[in-house]
Copies of this chain bind each other. A is one copy, B any other.
Amino acid sequence: MKGNVIVGQSGGPTAVINASLAGVINAAQKNGAGKIYGMHYGIEGFLNEDIIDISDYITCASDLSLLKRTPSAFLGSCRYKLPPIEGNEALYDRMFAIMEKYNIEYFLYIGGNDSMDTIKMLSDYAALKDKPQKFMGVPKTIDNDLPLTDHTPGYGSAAKYIATAMKEIIRDNESFGASKPIVCIVEIMGRHAGWLTAAAALSKGPDCSGPDLIYLPEVPFDLDVFMEKVKQLAEKKRSVVIAVSEGVRLADGRFVCELGNASDYVDAFGHRQLSGCASFLANKVTEATGLKSRAIEFSTLQRCATHLASRVDIDEATNVGYVACEAAMQGHTGMMIIIQVVSREPYLVSYNKYDIHEIANVERKVPRDWITNDGTYVSEKYLEYARPLIIGTILPYYAGGLPRHLTLDNKSR
**Cβ-based interface call for A212 (8 A):** no
Taking a contact as CB atoms under 8 Å apart, the answer to whether A168 and B306 are in contact is yes
Taking a contact as CB atoms under 8 Å apart, the answer to whether A402 and B164 are in contact is yes
Taking a contact as CB atoms under 8 Å apart, the answer to whether B400 and A176 are in contact is no
- A41, A273, A403 interface centre (most CB from chain B within 10 Å): A273
> CA separation between A72 and B279, bound complex, in Å?
23
Could you mark each residue 395-413 of chain A with 1 if its beta carbon is under 8 Å from any beta carbon of chain B, else 0?
1001111111111001110
Taking a contact as CB atoms under 8 Å apart, the answer to whether A400 and B171 are in contact is no
Q: Tell me which residues across on chain B come within 8 A of A174, comparing CB atoms.
A: 72, 76, 407
Contact of A301 among B13, B168, B203, B275 (CB under 8 A): B168
Q: Which of A365-413 contact B (CB under 8 A)?
A: 387, 390-393, 395, 398-407, 410-412
> CA separation between A107 and B271, bound complex, in Å?
56
Smallest CB separation, A395 vs chain B (Å): 8
Taking a contact as CB atoms under 8 Å apart, the answer to whether B172 and A300 are in contact is yes
Taking a contact as CB atoms under 8 Å apart, the answer to whether B171 and A71 are in contact is yes
Contacts A13-B175, A300-B296, A307-B308 hold; do A402 and B205 have CB atoms under 8 A apart? yes
Smallest CB separation, A240 vs chain B (Å): 15
Q: Tell me which residues across on chain B come within 8 A of A400, comparing CB atoms.
A: 202, 205, 387, 390-391
Q: Which of A33-57 contact B (CB under 8 A)?
A: 40-42, 44-45, 48, 50
> CA separation between A360 and B263, bound complex, in Å?
45
Copies of this chain held together in the complex: 2
Q: Which of A170-187 contact B (CB under 8 A)?
A: 171-179, 184
Contact of A387 among B77, B401, B411 (CB under 8 A): B401
> CA separation between A109 and B374, bound complex, in Å?
45
Smallest CB separation, A283 vs chain B (Å): 6
> CA separation between A308 and B72, bound complex, in Å?
19
**Cβ-based interface call for A353 (8 A):** no
**Cβ-based interface call for A315 (8 A):** no
Taking a contact as CB atoms under 8 Å apart, the answer to whether B402 and A172 are in contact is no
10 pairs of residues in contact across A and B, judged by CB atoms under 8 Å: A165-B301, A168-B304, A168-B305, A173-B300, A205-B399, A206-B410, A271-B287, A273-B283, A296-B300, A391-B400
Closest 7 CB pairs of A and B: A206-B412, A41-B178, A390-B401, A265-B265, A72-B171, A73-B175, A172-B304
A contact residues vs B (CB 8 Å cutoff): 9, 13, 40-42, 44-45, 48, 50, 70-73, 76-79, 160, 163-165, 167-169, 171-179, 184, 202-203, 205-208, 260, 263, 265, 267-269, 271, 273, 275, 279, 283, 286-287, 294, 296-297, 299-301, 303-308, 310, 387, 390-393, 395, 398-407, 410-412
